[in-house]
Amino acid sequence: MGLPKNKFRELVFQILFSCHFMENLEGQDETFYMKQLKTTKKNVLEAFSQVEEILSMKKDLDEKIATSSTSYDISRIQLVELNILRICLYEIQKNGGQMNEILISEGIRLSKKFSTTESISFINGVLDHLCKNNSELVYNP
C-alpha cells in the first residue's frame, strides 16, 4: 500500500529540512525515516529521489520565492517555511499548475504542523502570488 500524498510530503519535508544540517543525502539513514514514519523503504527512497530533484532546482525555486516574497528577503525566511515553499513550488511546476489550490492548502497544512500560526498567512500569500503571477510555472526537467 502506498503512502498517502500528505504523509509523503511530510517525509519529503523532513528529509529536505535535515539536508541543512548534513552535507548530503548519503549521510542520512533510511531506516530512521522508516521507523519514525512507519513506512516502507520504497517510500523513503522515492522521497529521497524527490528531495534530490528539489535540491537540483533549488536556485530556480529560491529565485521565484524571492520575487514573490515582498515582505521578507529570502535570507530572512525561516528554514521551515522556505522548505515548505520549495516543496509546494516544485510540485506546482511539476504538475504544470494543475493542482495549485490543493498545493497551497498542503503548504498551509504543513506550516500548521511544522511551524507557527503566523507562518500560515505568509505561506498562503507567497504561494498564491506565485500561482497568480507566474505563467511559467511549468516543469522543465
From 33, 56, 79, the end of a domain falls on 56
Do residues 70 and 129 both lie within one domain? yes
Do residues 31 and 70 both lie within one domain? no
Average pLDDT over residues 105-130: 91
Do residues 14 and 67 both lie within one domain? no
CATH of residue 76's domain is 1.10.940.10
Average pLDDT of the chain is 84
140 in any annotated domain: no
DSSP 68-122: H-SSS-GGGS-HHHHHHHHHHHHHHHHTTTTTHHHHHHHHHHHHHHHS-HHHHHH
Do residues 73 and 121 both lie within one domain? yes
Do residues 78 and 111 both lie within one domain? yes
Do residues 74 and 128 both lie within one domain? yes
**Which residue did the predictor score with more confidence, 106 or 35?**
106
Q: How many domains does the chain divide into?
A: 2
Q: What are phi and psi of 136, to 5 degrees?
A: -90, 15
Reference 6, options 120, 88, 122, 126; nearest CA is 88
What is the grid cell recorded at 113? 504542523
33 in any annotated domain: yes
Do residues 51 and 70 both lie within one domain? no
pLDDT in tens, 28-53: 677 777 877 788 889 888 999 999 99
Do residues 92 and 38 both lie within one domain? no
93 in any annotated domain: yes
pLDDT at residue 141 above 50? no
Range(s) of the domain holding residue 23? 5-56
Query: How many residues are recorded in the chain?
Result: 141
**Whole-prediction pTM value?**
0.87
Q: Give the pLDDT confidence score for residue 134 in this predicted structure.
A: 66
141 in any annotated domain: no
Q: Give the pLDDT confidence score for residue 86 in this predicted structure.
A: 95
What is the grid cell recorded at 60? 530556480
